A and B are shown apart, each in its own frame.
Chain A
Amino acid sequence: MSSSIEQRQTILTRTVLIGMSIVFVTPLIVAFLTSFKSPAEITRVMTLPTQIYWENYAIAFGRAGRTFLNSLLITAPAVVLSLLIGAVAGYPLAYMRGTGGKLVYFILLTGMLVPFQIVQIPLFFLVQRLGLYDTIPGMWLVHTAYAVPFCTFFMRNFFASVPRSMYEAALIDGCGPATYFWKLLLPASGSGLAALAIIQSRAIWNDLLFAITLTTSDNARPATVAIAGFASSLQVEYGPLMASTIVSVLPVMAAYLLFQKSFVRGLLGGAGK
């Protein structure tokens, strides 16, 4: 009796899983197939390509090749920097007692409410005055700065879940609060950092607004600008658009696969209990 219920449940959950997988994957399959269609075939969206049309990938790489490199050069350091700044801010906020720390935390969190579209003009002035307009370090700075509220929020919560006894024991052993952070806390926070790294990689890799505002040339333009270009105002080049989308998804997926193991393992056996 109970095993037949279990069986039925297994069938049910399998069905749900497979059904949902189809829903999730179908739009991507359409995109993938489209990336191999010639312009004449693209007008018939729901058909299979009659031949593999590599030209779309050639166009995507020809026009967006450099921007993929830029995206990598922007994203990898910016993710590291934003994790660092989040950890650096989250650490004292997790351990400070009293109203001062709470106030700072509140104020930083309100940053998550700011719609990014309103900051662009002052931002442009700042970045330009720093001589970082249309440069990759300029993008690092901006992505780090705008990561402050969320990364602080995330890391503070993570640190707060680390047993306080660890901190107090370290201080008693004569370890300074800064040393504790760099030598003990940060190395033990792999899981939290990995989780945040996945979120931040995706956010920074997919940013379009800051990229359009602060870059004008192949010096620093990331792939999202090129992808948006294929979906421009009057004409949409669906073939290269989908080809470049498929290519641009790969690095984020790689980051996901790379960090996911330490992410789950870290949460399982790490500091989080």
Chain B
Amino acid sequence: MNLSPHRLSRTDWTHIAFLALPTLLFVTFYVYPVISSIHLSLHDWNGFAPKMRFVGLQNYQVLIGQPRFLHAALNNIIWVAFMLIVPTGLGLLLAAILDRGIRGEQVFRIIFFLPFTIPAVAVGAIWRWMYEPDNGLITTVLKLLGLGSFAQNWLGDPNVVNLSLMGSVAWWTTGFAFLVFFAGLRNIPTECIEAARIEGATPWQVFWKVSFPLLWPSTIIVLGMSAIDAMRLFDVVWAMTKGGPAYSSEVLAVQMYDLAFGRFDMGRAAAVAVYLFIIAGVIIMPYIIYMSRRVQDSEAD
């Protein structure tokens, strides 16, 4: 597109007209709030006082020296790694198994998708029970299996709580990965698979040599969304532990919330938000760049 207005074709004008409304919404609902957050992060303000005090970069400097902040940032990064691997891998496994044409496929499809439809507060409430350390279902089942020594203080032990939360999130979100992979597998032309079968490939060879490479478009959507969800993670942690015990399960969005409304420190909270935005950018921007390149490649084909 040439930016000089005289050279713009009718097609260009149509494109611009199409983009006008989305861009307007974006500027109003994203750009403006983000700029106001950056502005806020340079101030000391309790959220109610008539005046804000300008403190420069102090909020940022204080945060970077705080173990509490670093711990939450690290948790976010661990969550990204987890979300990229576990729900995605599990979803792929289930989709691959189901794609082989199993009786009762429809029932399994509903079962695997079902948890994904549940609101976060309810997920939190249900899993608070599952994880009740003495009489909860998980401990009870472990005891029945004679594995009682593996039972943990699921949500109360700072060393275990993050794993427990991840378990419930895997349960909650695997359905999404499953859904996308399953549709992706169904999208693969049957001829490719038949051809491989005729050449004597086992089902697993078919999957890894033929299906999986063709699944790449689904895979990158799932990976990208998982990473973004992991950075923005809030609801389930807030509903289940509020970041506790003693900050051990805190992620940045939770810390931001606690600083802003638990402690009336809006400026500090805004600085956490900006850090979160930056960290997310560093982790996810390569993905976004990759996405746009990939689409161009496919256009060139």
Contacts and interface: CB of A to CB of B under 8 A. Distances in A.
Interface of A: 5-6, 9, 13-14, 16-17, 20-21, 23-28, 30-31, 45-46, 85, 88-89, 91-102, 104-119, 121-123, 126, 142, 144-146, 148-149, 152-154, 156-157, 160-161, 164, 171, 176-178, 181, 195, 198-199, 202, 205-206, 208, 224, 227-228, 231, 236, 238, 241-242, 245, 248-249, 252-253, 256-257, 260, 263-264, 267-268, 272-273
A99 B1 CA distance: 7
A46 B135 contact: yes
Interface in B114-161: 114-122, 124-127, 129-130, 132, 135-137, 140
A123 B33 contact: yes
Nearest to B129: A45
23 contacts: A24-B112, A27-B130, A30-B130, A45-B132, A45-B136, A92-B18, A96-B1, A107-B26, A108-B23, A109-B291, A112-B228, A113-B280, A113-B284, A114-B34, A115-B252, A115-B276, A117-B234, A117-B257, A122-B36, A227-B122, A245-B119, A253-B117, A268-B187
Contact of B28 (A89, A121, A145, A181): A145
A46 B134 CA distance: 11
B187 A248 contact: no
A249 B25 contact: no
A32 to B, nearest CB: 10
Nearest to B203: A9
Nearest to B220: A157
Contact of A267 (B23, B34, B121, B187): B187
Interface in B236-256: 239, 252-253, 256
Contacts of B119: 205-206, 208, 224, 227-228, 245, 248
A92 B15 contact: yes
A109 B37 CA distance: 19
A111 B124 CA distance: 27
Looking at A26, A118, A268, the one whose CB has the most chain B CB atoms below 10 A away is A118
A149 B232 CA distance: 15
Contact of B298 (A91, A107, A160, A176): A160
Contact of B295 (A114, A156, A181, A202): A156
Nearest to A269: B187
Interface stretch (B54-62, B65-73, B78-86, B94-102): B94-102
A160 B88 CA distance: 24
Contacts of A149: 26, 30
Looking at B126, B171, B252, the one whose CB has the most chain A CB atoms below 10 A away is B126
A45 B127 CA distance: 12
A115 to B, nearest CB: 5
A166 to B, nearest CB: 13
Contacts of B253: 115, 117
Nearest to A229: B121
Given A110-B288, A228-B121, A241-B122, 16 more contacts: A17-B97, A21-B108, A27-B127, A31-B122, A45-B136, A105-B292, A110-B281, A113-B228, A115-B252, A157-B295, A178-B17, A227-B122, A236-B125, A248-B122, A249-B117, A253-B117
Given A108-B26, A268-B186, A89 B130 contact: no
A118 B37 contact: yes
Contact of B1 (A94, A98, A164, A176): A98
A142 B23 CA distance: 14
Nearest to A113: B280
Contacts of A109: 288, 291
A253 B110 CA distance: 8
A160 B291 CA distance: 11
A20 B120 contact: no
Contacts of B18: 88-89, 91-92, 178, 181
